[in-house]
Amino acid sequence: MEQNLKSEKKSNILANYNLSELESFLLDIIKPKYRIKQIFDAILQAKDIDELNIPKEMITKLSENYILKPLKIHTVLKSKDGTKKYLLQLNDGNIFESVFLTQNYGNTICLSTQVGCRMGCSFCASTVKGLIRNLTAGEMLAAISIINADNGQKTERNFSNIVLMGSGEPLDNFDNVTKFLYLVTDKNGFNLSERNISLSTCGLVNKIYDLMKLKLNINLCISLHASTDEIRQKIMPVAKAYSINEIVKAVFDYAKYTKRRVILEYCLIKGVNDSFDDCERLVKLFKNVLCHFNVINLNPKDDKQSPVTKKSAYAFVQKLNDLGLSATLRRSQGSDIEGACGQLKVKFEQNDEKNSKK
């Protein structure tokens, strides 16, 4: 982290820094030291600058040079199952989404890593307008803080898991995402265990190896969604850059090096990747690899692609199990509030366009 601070251009977003980093440059304008801890706590509690209990002249200096809160809640939608979907607005006006899911074992925050996405997967709403920009580590932390504060005591951690499965490709924003991982697991901060964080990638193989070398105890998830390169290339442009065989090798190496099982995500699209032949090919590819298949039914973004029936989804998972692969069907939460990636934002923008045309 210290190295990061030296090598990169200093950001004015305070959430980009841990406590000792803040102390290293704020002491010029904020004294004594304990006030910097107050500022650090205020970041984690998503407080506004006028809620800081420090002398006015220090607040003025702070606000002239730095940003305490880089985003605000634009809209919240609550699903019947308790899932809450947030549209968060950054200071430059850009909007991205994040989801708060309540589960028996604790609450999960699904976080975006980019505004938009440039990966172009055919089934995903996040990528429709391409990549707008990367989120910085501090903006991702601020999103976690504001959602945490909106779901219980501000001074407590009200979630136990984070999944980087919102809009964007985490490994396409590698430095900011890994820095965010350090910030959110910081003992002085949210102190979240690495084991309770899942990072999902469309399979940027070279970046998977870079991540592997960091030896983090996070869960790596790879969006596979196909059993042949031909099918994968039709729905995921990234498949033209990396073959399935390269992914299989990366999963094997990652699991061996980190001793952690890799999750393969498989979204069922009717008539595209849902046959028992697909199951057989998947088993041939992955039978000797430490992995688990998370199968999910498509949450359609338009009428070009459809999900399979519930019965077929269960049959697909059962077939994988019968052939010896570890696989489960993931329940989709919040579909009544546009739960799938980027869908709420797309809906919002469509409505906004309609309204502005009125």
- 193/186 Cα distance (integer angstroms): 9
Stretches 43-51, 119-127, 206-214, 226-234: which one binds ligand SAH (CB under 6 A)?
119-127
Catalytic residue status for 57: no
Q: Which of 202, 204, 208, 317 binds ligand SAH (CB under 6 A)?
A: 202
List 8, 51, 97, 124, catalytic entry:
97
Q: Tokens representing 265? A: 């995500």
Which CB atom, from 18 or from 83, has the smaller least distance to ligand SAH? 83
Query: Using the rule CB under 6 A, is 111 a contact of ligand SAH?
Result: no
Inter-residue contact 173 to 140 (CB < 8 Å): no
Measured CA to CA, the distance from residue 160 to residue 190 in angstroms comes to: 10
Residues in the chain: 358
**Whether the Cβ atoms of residue 110 and residue 86 lie closer than 8 Å to each other:** no
Task: Report, in Å, the least distance between residue 352 CB and ligand SAH.
Answer: 21
219 binds ligand SAH, rule: CB under 6 A: no
Burial class of residue 153, CB neighbours in 10 A (0-12, 13-18, 19+)? exposed
Q: Which of 225, 196, 222, 227 is nearest to 211 (CA)?
A: 222
Q: Positive or negative, the Cα torsion across 75, 81, 82, 88?
A: negative
Nearer to ligand SAH among residue 145 and residue 299 (C-beta): 299
How would you classify residue 90: left for phi > 0, otherwise alpha for psi between -120 and 50, otherwise beta? beta
Residues forming beta bridges with residue 109, ordered by sequence position: 100, 162
Asked if 93 contacts 133 with a C-beta cutoff of 8 angstroms, the reply is: no
Binding mask 20-59 for ligand SAH (x = CB under 6 A): ----------------------------------------
Our finding on whether 308 is near ligand SAH (CB under 6 A) is: no
From the list 21-29, 58-66, 90-98, 295-303, the region that binds ligand SAH by CB under 6 A is 295-303
Q: CB 301 → ligand SAH: shortest distance, Å? A: 5
Tokens encoding 347:
């809906």
**Of the candidates 70, 74, 68, which has an alpha carbon nearest to the alpha carbon of residue 54?**
68
Cis before 55? omega within 30: no
> Is there binding between residue 83 and ligand SAH (CB under 6 A)?
no
**Shortest Å, Cβ 102 to ligand SAH:** 19
Q: Any catalytic annotation for residue 97? A: yes
Tokens for 202?
């469309």
Residues 6+ apart with CB under 8 A from 216: 181, 194, 258
Residue 180 near ligand SAH by CB under 6 A: no
Print burial letters for 176-193: b (CB count within 10 Å at least 16), e (below 16). Answer: bbbbbbbbbbbeebbebe
Size of the site for ligand SAH (CB under 6 A): 18
Residue 137 binds to ligand SAH (criterion: CB under 6 A): no
Min dist CB 335 to ligand SAH, Å, is 9
Task: Choose which of 97, 139, 169, 338 interacts with ligand SAH (CB under 6 A).
Answer: 169
Is the Cβ of residue 186 or residue 274 nearer to ligand SAH in the bound state?
274
Query: If DSSP codes are grouped into helix, strand and coil, which group holds residue 172?
Result: helix
Binding of residue 231 to ligand SAH (CB under 6 A): no
Catalytic entry in 124, 202, 291, 341: 341
Binding piece for ligand SAH, criterion CB under 6 A, among 11-19, 45-53, 133-141, 195-203: 195-203
Residue 124 touching ligand SAH (CB under 6 A): yes
Looking at beta carbons only, is 44 or 296 nearer to ligand SAH?
A: 296
- Determine, following the binding rule CB under 6 A, whether residue 177 of this chain makes contact with ligand SAH: no
Give the active site residues.
Answer: 97, 341
Residues that bind ligand SAH (CB under 6 A): 119, 121, 123-124, 165, 169, 200-202, 223, 265, 267, 296, 298-299, 301, 340-341
